[in-house]
Structure 1
Amino acid sequence: MSRLVVIVAPGSRGDVQPCIALGRGLAVDGDRVRVLAAERFRTLATGYGLDFAPLSADPSEVLGSAGGREWTEGGRNPATFLRGLRGALAPVLERLLEDVHKGAEGADLVLAPTLGFLGAHLGASLGVPDVELHYQPSVPTRAFAHPLLPWAARLGPGGRLLSYHAVDTVAWQLLRPEVDRWRGRSLGLPPAGWRGPRRKETPALCGFSDAVVPRPKDWPARVHVTGYWFLETAAGWRPEPRLRDFLASGPPPVYVGFGSMRPSETERAFTAVRTALRRVGLRGLLGTDLDFGDDDLLTVHDVPHAWLFPRTAAVVHHGGAGTTAAALRAGVPALVCPIFSDQPYWGDRVSRLGAGPRPLPFRELTADSLTARLLELSGNLLFRRGAQYVAARLREEDGVARAREVVRDVVSRVR
Structure 2
Amino acid sequence: MLIATAGSRGDVEPFANLARRAVAEGHDVLLVVPDRSGVDLDGLDVASLGVDFNRMITDQGVSALGAMRSFRSVVRPLMRAVIVETAKVALDYRPDVVVAHPKILSAPLIAEALNIPHVLVETVPAMTPTSAFPAAGTVTRNLGRANRLTYRAAGMAAAMFRSEIDEAARLVAVSRRTVASPVATLMPISPAILARPGDWPDTVHLTGPWLDDRAPGVVDPVVAEFLEGGPYVYVGFGSMAGGDPIERARSVVQAVRDHGTRAILATGLGGLDVPRDLLGPDLLVVRSTDHGRVLPRAVAAVHHGGIGTVQAATRAGTVSVLVPFIADQPFWGARLHAQGLAPAPIPRRALTSKRLTAALADAASHQGGVDSAARTMNQEQGTREALSVIVSLV
TM-score by structure 2 length?
Answer: 0.90
Worse-matched range after superposition: 321-330 or 306-315:
306-315
Question: What residue in structure 1 maps to residue 246 of structure 2?
Answer: 267
2:388 is equivalent to residue 409 of structure 1 = no
Paired letter, 2:380: E
What percent of counterpart residues are identical? 31
Question: What residue in structure 1 maps to residue 148 of structure 2?
Answer: 161
Paired letter, 2:54: S
Q: 1:152 to 1:383 in 2, by over 3 A?
A: closer
Question: What residue in structure 2 maps to residue 56 of structure 1?
Answer: 50
Q: Distance in 2 between matches of 1:231 and 1:84?
A: 37
Paired residues of 2:100 and 2:121 also in contact (CA < 8 A): yes
In the alignment, structure 2 segments of 5+ residues that lack a partner are: none
Question: What residue in structure 2 maps to residue 65 of structure 1?
Answer: 59
Structure 1 residue 42 displacement after superposition? 7.9
Q: Distance in 2 between matches of 1:134 and 1:276?
A: 35
Paired letter, 2:378: R
Matches within 5 A, 1:22-33: 22-33=18-29
SS at match of 1:143: coil
Paired residues of 2:14 and 2:211 also in contact (CA < 8 A): yes
TM-score by structure 1 length?
Answer: 0.86
Structure 1 residue 83 displacement after superposition? 5.4
Structure 1 residue 150 displacement after superposition? 2.4
Structure 1 residue 224 displacement after superposition? 1.0
Match of 1:311 among 297, 304, 308: 297
Structure 1 residue 208 displacement after superposition? 0.5
Match of 1:133 among 121, 127, 133: 121
Q: 1:43 to 1:391 in 2, by over 3 A?
A: closer
Match of 1:142 among 102, 125, 131: 131
Match of 1:237 among 203, 217, 226: 217
Q: Distance in 2 between matches of 1:153 and 1:177?
A: 35
Structure 1 residue 328 displacement after superposition? 0.7
Paired letter, 1:16: V
Worse-matched range after superposition: 384-393 or 125-134:
125-134
In the alignment, structure 1 segments of 5+ residues that lack a partner are: 75-79
Matches within 5 A, 1:210-289: 210-232=191-213, 234-235=214-215, 237-249=217-229, 251-288=230-267
What does the per-residue CA deviation read over 1:173-229, in whole Å, with 9 as the maximum and x for residues that have no partner?
112122212321x22233x25xx8441x52111111122111111111111111111
What does the per-residue CA deviation read over 1:78-123, in whole Å, with 9 as the maximum and x for residues that have no partner?
xx79957956521322233333234333122110012353321221
Structure 1 residue 373 displacement after superposition? 1.8
Match of 1:123 among 105, 111, 115: 111
Instruction: Let me know the Cα RMSD of the aligned residues.
Output: 2.3
Number of positions where the alignment pairs a residue of Structure 1 with one of Structure 2? 383
Q: Distance in 2 between matches of 1:255 and 1:53?
A: 34
Structure 1 residue 236 displacement after superposition? 6.3
Matches within 5 A, 1:6-405: 6-41=2-37, 44-46=40-42, 49-66=43-60, 69=61, 72-74=62-64, 89-104=75-90, 105-106=92-93, 107-115=95-103, 117-138=105-126, 139-150=128-139, 153-154=142-143, 156-157=144-145, 159-164=146-151, 166-184=152-170, 186-190=171-175, 192-193=176-177, 197-199=179-181, 202-232=183-213, 234-235=214-215, 237-249=217-229, 251-288=230-267, 290-291=273-274, 292=276, 293-377=279-363, 381-405=364-388
Paired residues of 2:98 and 2:111 also in contact (CA < 8 A): yes
Structure 1 residue 294 displacement after superposition? 1.3
Paired residues of 1:109 and 1:128 also in contact (CA < 8 A): yes
Q: Distance in 2 between matches of 1:15 and 1:262?
A: 16
Q: Distance in 2 between matches of 1:160 and 1:356?
A: 23
What does the per-residue CA deviation read over 1:235-294, in whole Å, with 9 as the maximum and x for residues that have no partner?
361111111111112x22100000111114222211211121122212000011645431
Q: Distance in 1 between matches of 2:312 and 2:324?
A: 16
Q: 1:167 to 1:339 in 2, by over 3 A?
A: same
Q: Distance in 2 between matches of 1:366 and 1:325?
A: 25
Q: Which runs of 4+ in 1 moved over 6 A?
A: none
Q: Distance in 2 between matches of 1:277 and 1:287?
A: 14
Q: Distance in 2 between matches of 1:64 and 1:302?
A: 15
Paired residues of 2:112 and 2:180 also in contact (CA < 8 A): no
Worse-matched range after superposition: 351-360 or 97-106:
97-106
Q: Distance in 2 between matches of 1:108 and 1:42?
A: 28
